[in-house]
Amino acid sequence: MQLQMKRRYKQLIWLIFPILIIFIMWIKWDNWFYNPPEPFYTPSSSPDRILLTWSGDPFDSRDVTWQGDTLTKLGSLQITGKSDPKDTLLYTSTSRIIKTSGGASSFFRVGIKNLKHGESYQYRVANGANWSEWYDFKIGNSTDSSYSFIFIGDVQDSINGVSGELFHRAYASQPNAAFIMFIGDMIERPHDEYWGEWFREGGKMFRTIPVIATPGNHEYYKGLIQKLDERWMAHFSFPQNGPKNFLGRVCYWDYQNTRYISLDSNGIQSIPSALEQRSWLKSVLENTHQRWIVVMMHHPIYSTSRGRDYFYLRALFKPLFDQYNVDLVLEGHDHAYGRAAHIPNSKFKDKQGAVYVGTHASPKLYDTGFSNKMDKLATNTQMYQLLDVSGDSIRFRAYTANGTYFDGFTIHKDASGNRNVTENAPPNSDNYLMPTKSFLNKSSKKELEKYDNQMKAWENSKK
Ligand SMILES: [Fe+2]
């Protein structure tokens, strides 16, 4: 009798299991697998989506990429130093055509070399005989005692969206930024129109200040195996110093006294891809002699957003961050702001762990889960961040889209490499902790009460 019961249980489990899988797949199909069709697009015959980056030495080189129609095979770039405007150099570029389901475009890339420290330059680019306007950029001095940069989280704007105002407020606050860092999900979907939106909002800023970036899930096509949009690689000319299967997106940039390391958290889709990034990271950290180490990754080690936890990333990378004394980890994805400055170093008990900051600049808003790890939290607002780096400190300031100072801290480092963090933030006001409209609409009275209790408990724990 017992044997018969056991057999029936087994049969029941075998029956329920596939039904459960089918049910989950049905619920999650759009989220996991559906790529909406890309609308038809016609690229411009004139140079479009011009972007400044660097892939070599930041103090003597710049890369410029741009886009055009498929009729033009030859791209050109003219550059002149402002101190000697008669001395003009001409570079040529062959085109690379990228076809997608909505159309095809040509992409051009030029690597400019032998630039001078402290010099200002003007450049323009051409598709065939169609020249762009002239744009300016300046090369910094490697001997300067400090530099600044702008850090922007997920943008994911809608068409004719709002991010341009935030970008330009950040730019106006720090016009001499050495670079602008993006942390993935610059676009809502891998479609030409969304790339167009991001470039339109960035405008002149992207042609004047170099961009560094890490990929996010929204630059990937969904599927059982997700694939990065080829246009990401064509727009961003980054150092080819990463692991074999992630060249150009998992990489590091050295700027003055800092090593910036980009991980592709969305590219971790299997054990081999996780191990490939991990072992590369370990070897890079082992060979890092810069004063500061900053890691950029789209998915966070400590989640800000309600119901999310990328524990596998924590297991994979945090031990290395601790072992090699990473100073700062900059993250996105959660569409709510969260800063954690008191995470212990699990390897060296007498040392402070890295400071973790997750942020975003998107009109898409998610709710916070009130993690106790976080010292500052914000929902319902977009942010931009300004960082100032010197030999003995990194100063971090976060502002809301309308320019209100929201958060700030400074990481100090003494001659022996010991760190401490001082906070300089206004108290976390309730205004930044209210649930989003979508949470209010979908939640029951009981769930809202629970939210309120969590908020109060979190606020009390921070007093
Ligand atoms: Fe994301």
Alpha carbon of 331 to ligand 1 centroid (Å): 10
- Angstrom distance (rounded) from CA 302 to CA 374: 9
CA distances from 38 to 71, 192, 199, 228, 233 (A): 21, 8, 18, 15, 19
Alpha carbon of 217 to ligand 1 centroid (Å): 5
Alpha carbon of 299 to ligand 1 centroid (Å): 7
Alpha carbon of 455 to ligand 1 centroid (Å): 24
Alpha carbon of 267 to ligand 1 centroid (Å): 12
CA distances from 181 to 92, 121, 233, 305 (A): 28, 22, 16, 22
* CATH architecture, domain 150-439: 4-Layer Sandwich (3.60)
Alpha carbon of 153 to ligand 1 centroid (Å): 10
Alpha carbon of 12 to ligand 1 centroid (Å): 38
CA distances from 65 to 20, 253, 268, 422 (A): 47, 18, 27, 40
Alpha carbon of 87 to ligand 1 centroid (Å): 45
What local confidence, expressed as pLDDT, does residue 21 receive?
67
What local confidence, expressed as pLDDT, does residue 219 receive?
97
CB within 8 Å of 350: residues ≥ 6 apart: none
Sheet of 211-213, strand order:
211-213, 179-182, 146-152, 383-390, 393-400, 405-413, 419-423
Alpha carbon of 420 to ligand 1 centroid (Å): 30
Alpha carbon of 154 to ligand 1 centroid (Å): 7
Return the domain boundaries, the chain.
Answer: 48-138, 150-439
Alpha carbon of 322 to ligand 1 centroid (Å): 25
Determine the 3-state secondary structure of 128 from DSSP: coil
Alpha carbon of 450 to ligand 1 centroid (Å): 26
Q: What is the pLDDT of residues 41-61, one digit of tens each?
A: 999 999 999 999 999 999 999
Alpha carbon of 55 to ligand 1 centroid (Å): 25
Determine the 3-state secondary structure of 203 from DSSP: coil
Alpha carbon of 30 to ligand 1 centroid (Å): 15
Classify domain 48-138 at the CATH topology level. Answer: Immunoglobulin-like (2.60.40)
Alpha carbon of 194 to ligand 1 centroid (Å): 15
CB within 8 Å of 177: residues ≥ 6 apart: 148, 149, 150, 171, 209, 386
Alpha carbon of 219 to ligand 1 centroid (Å): 9
165 within 8 A of 11, measured Cβ to Cβ:
no
Which tokens hold the place of 86?
């008669």
**Exposed e or buried b for every residue in 316-352, given b needs 16+ CB within 10 A?**
bbbebbbebbbbbbbbbbbbbbbbbbebebeeeeeeb
Residues of the chain with pLDDT under 70: 1, 3, 21-29
Residues near ion ligand 1 (CB < 5 Å) are 185, 216-217, 333
Of 336, 361, 357, 356, whose CA–CA distance to 433 is shortest?
A: 336
Alpha carbon of 300 to ligand 1 centroid (Å): 10
CA dihedral for 310, 313, 314, 316, sign (positive or negative) = positive
- Angstrom distance (rounded) from CA 50 to CA 65: 6
CA dihedral for 288, 289, 295, 296, sign (positive or negative) = negative
Alpha carbon of 360 to ligand 1 centroid (Å): 10
Of 227, 187, 307, 194, whose CA–CA distance to 33 is shortest?
A: 227
CB within 8 Å of 402: residues ≥ 6 apart: 169
Pairing state between β 211-213 and 328-331: unpaired
Q: How many CB atoms lie within 10 A of CB 111?
A: 16
- Angstrom distance (rounded) from CA 360 to CA 380: 11
pTM over 0.75: yes
Alpha carbon of 115 to ligand 1 centroid (Å): 36
Alpha carbon of 266 to ligand 1 centroid (Å): 8
Alpha carbon of 333 to ligand 1 centroid (Å): 4
- Angstrom distance (rounded) from CA 195 to CA 218: 11
Give 224: exposed, middle or buried? Use CB within 10 Å, 0-12, 13-18, 19+. Answer: exposed
Alpha carbon of 216 to ligand 1 centroid (Å): 5
Give me the half-sphere count of Cα atoms (radius 13 Å) on the Cβ side of residue 351. 22
- Angstrom distance (rounded) from CA 72 to CA 306: 48
Q: What is the pLDDT of residues 335-374, one digit of tens each?
A: 999 999 999 998 998 889 999 999 999 999 999 999 999 9
Determine the 3-state secondary structure of 175 from DSSP: coil
Which tokens hold the place of 395?
């100063």
Alpha carbon of 188 to ligand 1 centroid (Å): 9
- Angstrom distance (rounded) from CA 340 to CA 377: 9
Q: What is the DSSP string of 64-79?
A: EEEEE-TT--EEEEEE
Q: How many CB atoms lie within 10 A of CB 71?
A: 11
Pairing state between β 383-390 and 376-378: unpaired
What local confidence, expressed as pLDDT, does residue 13 receive?
76
Give, as one character, the DSSP assignment of residue 242.
Answer: S
- Angstrom distance (rounded) from CA 25 to CA 366: 23
Beta strands in 33-119 (DSSP E): 48-53, 62-68, 74-81, 84-94, 96-100, 103-112
Alpha carbon of 386 to ligand 1 centroid (Å): 21
What local confidence, expressed as pLDDT, does residue 349 receive?
87
Alpha carbon of 298 to ligand 1 centroid (Å): 7
Give 272: exposed, middle or buried? Use CB within 10 Å, 0-12, 13-18, 19+. Answer: exposed
454 within 8 A of 370, measured Cβ to Cβ:
yes
